[in-house]
Amino acid sequence: MASLLEVKGLIARASGFTILNNLDFNIEENELRVLLGPNGAGKTTLISMITGQFKPVAGSIHFAGRDITNWPPDDIFQAGISRKFQVPNMYETLSVFDNIMVSLQGRRRVFATLFQRLSSEERDRIWEILEFVELTDRASDPADSLSHGERQWLELGMLIASNPKLLLLDEPTTGMTEDGKRKTAELIRRIAKTHTVLLVEHDMHIVRQIGQRITVLHQGQTLADGPMSEVMNNEMVRRVYLGKGKFQ
């Protein structure tokens, strides 16, 4: 069976730099994949390419059997890919409840949403998600009154609400306390039971806690790919990372 996501020969350039250099990358269904790499390896660019924010110079991206290269972001979302931004990114003045409501899976066209009412199933679903990300008590508060960690969880909740086939999580633990990071890692593990997840992460504690198949990017190419223990002992990976002291 074909992979859920197939990236072939992807090349990305920006202001003269080659960010992704002929990159091949696959994700199977129901996989939890961790994407590692030093700064500038092209992790975020890869995610931006998949979600249609940037157009590749060459190469193709296939998702669930369809060629989604050069699709606009909203169509790629409709195909089943949701992304989490590095910085928490939600609707600040809307209430937490409305943030989830707007993200629910459903029709997205103007005239379809014009007369749509919130059904009781949708309402249950929102409470289910709020409970999952432990924001039930904050439902009526505007999103900009949340703390940094709570915002990250709210955005995770929004992603789950959209019920995608593939979740792209770009460093969801950035700027969190140790407790917050642990909680986020737990959330991700639970999400991964029912969804395919691609996680970009710097923090090795989190990577160890999640401990699945790892892909290491370096200078726009795949440096290593395999299970946790194998990649950790890879000579090349150690050399790339040692200067940064990440594996200590």
Partner 1 sequence: MAEAAARNHQAGESYELRKVAKRGTYRAPPFLPLWALIGGVAAVVLIGAYPYYGSNAYVLSLLGKFLCFAIFALSIDLIWGFAGILSLGQAVYFGIGAYFVALSLKINYALTHPTRYGGKFPDFMEWNGLTELPHFMTPLISTPFAIFCALLVPTLLGLLFGVITFKRHIYGVYCAVITLAESLILQELIIEYQAYTGGFNGITDYSNYATPGFLWFILAVVVIFLVIARALTHSRVGTVLKSIRDNDVRAEFMGYNVANYRIFVFCVSAFMAAAAGALYAAWVGIVSFLDAGPVFSIEGVIWTAVGGRGTLIGPFIGTFLVKGAEFFLSGALAFWWQIIVGGLFIFVVLVLRDGIVGSIGNWLRKRKKGASVRQMIEDSDQKAHDRQLDWSPGGPPSVDEPVR
Which residue from 57, 87, 236, 242 is in contact with partner 1, where contact means CB under 8 A?
A: 87
Query: Residue 59 — φ and ψ, nearest 5°?
Result: 105, 175
Of residues 75 and 226, the one with the C-beta less far from partner 1: 75
228 binds partner 1 (CB under 8 A): no
Q: What type of residue is 86? A: Q
The rounded distance, in Å, linking the Cα atoms of 62 and 29 is 13
174 binds partner 1 (CB under 8 A): no
Query: Residue 205 — φ and ψ, nearest 5°?
Result: -60, -45
Which residue from 193, 243, 245, 248 is in contact with partner 1, where contact means CB under 8 A?
A: 193
User: b or e along 157-176 (b: 16 or more beta carbons within 10 Å of the residue's beta carbon)?
Assistant: bbbbbbbbebbbbbbbbbeb
CA atoms within 13 A of residue 29's CA, in its CB half-sphere: 9
Of residues 102 and 226, the one with the C-beta less far from partner 1: 102
Q: How big is the CA angle at 6 (ends 38 and 218), to the nearest 5 degrees?
A: 15
Instruction: Report the site for partner 1 in 106-165 (rule: CB under 8 A).
Output: 108-110, 113-118, 124, 127-128, 130-132, 136-137, 139-140, 144, 158, 162
Of residues 8 and 13, the one with the C-beta less far from partner 1: 13
Tokens 């972001």, residue? 73
Residues listed for the chain: 248
H helix and E strand count, the chain: 10, 10
Of residues 28 and 144, the one with the C-beta less far from partner 1: 144
186 binds partner 1 (CB under 8 A): yes
Stretch of 25-33, 75-83, 210-218, 237-245 contacting partner 1, by CB under 8 A:
75-83
93 binds partner 1 (CB under 8 A): yes
Stretch of 21-29, 105-113, 227-235, 236-244 contacting partner 1, by CB under 8 A:
105-113
91 binds partner 1 (CB under 8 A): yes
Of residues 115 and 248, the one with the C-beta less far from partner 1: 115
The Cβ of residue 244 has, within 10 Å, a number of other Cβ atoms equal to 11
